[in-house]
Amino acid sequence: MANRSIGRNVDLYDASKPDDALGGLILRPSITKNNFLFMLEILIIASHPYGVSLRDTGVNLTASDEPLEPGHYDIRPNSPEGTISVADELCTVSGRDEGFRSLVRARDGKCMITGRRNVEADRGLWRGFQAAHIFPLSSEQLFIDSGSGRLITNRAGERDNGINSCQNGLLICLMALTSLSTRTDDHYKITCFGRDDWLDGRILDPIFRDPNKRESVRDELLRWHFRQAVLANMKITA
């Protein structure tokens, strides 16, 4: 299993335990102060409101589009009784299905992250391209139990739970989806949780998200995936 903590230059701490890191990330240009604070809402479970400060300055972060600085960040509850912990929610991995693959390929035609077009599509060759589930096939029961099927509007009959709908997929190349993710409310900007500056900060191609098309990806599933990427990449044991 990959060690996602190697190379991190942003580390998170409970202010009361300044030597025990809770998690962290590799800082990329797309990670603004606003984006970082949003990630912490996913990663941190707190009994009370809290502040987050760069240890070198002691000044609490406020949400803005300014780039985050590298360093140690202390999380401090606003109440003496306040406690913080890292979410124990597990992240998941992806799988594929032939019908799903065909639908995603037909809709996208190119990598939605890099913009690389498949010039061999007319020959039925898709080397280097992957139709990736947003909500992974390996977690189909969770998809059912969480009611995520209600987001899918092009199911093929009552017995189709929707997980293999193209509304739950993207065509990508080069790397796994858990290394990249996007915030729908940040203009679909890509955040890379590794070291790839070339992809970080790009905007996901609008082809797959046209609200007027029945085949378009559901924003709620992209939000779910961003949550999974934070949990997979920012925990201390990730």
My answer on whether 121 and 215 are in the same domain is yes
Burial class of 195 by CB neighbour count within 10 A (0 to 12, 13 to 18, 19+)? exposed
Cβ-based neighbours of 95, under 8 Å, separated by 6 or more: 133, 136, 137, 138
Burial class of 99 by CB neighbour count within 10 A (0 to 12, 13 to 18, 19+)? exposed
Q: pLDDT-based confidence at 94, cuts 50/70/90?
A: very low
Residue in the structure block whose two tokens are 């406690």? 83
Stated pTM of the model: 0.69
Give the domain-ending residue among 56, 86, 116: 86
Percent of the chain surpassing pLDDT 90: 53
Q: How far is Cα 99 from Cα 88, in angstroms, rounded to an integer?
A: 34
93 within some domain: no
Lookup: tokens for 233 = 């990449």
152 within some domain: yes
My answer on whether 69 and 130 are in the same domain is no
Q: pLDDT-based confidence at 1, cuts 50/70/90?
A: very low
Burial class of 41 by CB neighbour count within 10 A (0 to 12, 13 to 18, 19+)? exposed
Q: How far is Cα 204 from Cα 36, in angstroms, rounded to an integer?
A: 19
Percent of the chain surpassing pLDDT 70: 90
My answer on whether 27 and 132 are in the same domain is no
State residue 178's pLDDT score. 52
Split into its structural domains, the chain has a count of 2
My answer on whether 157 and 49 are in the same domain is no
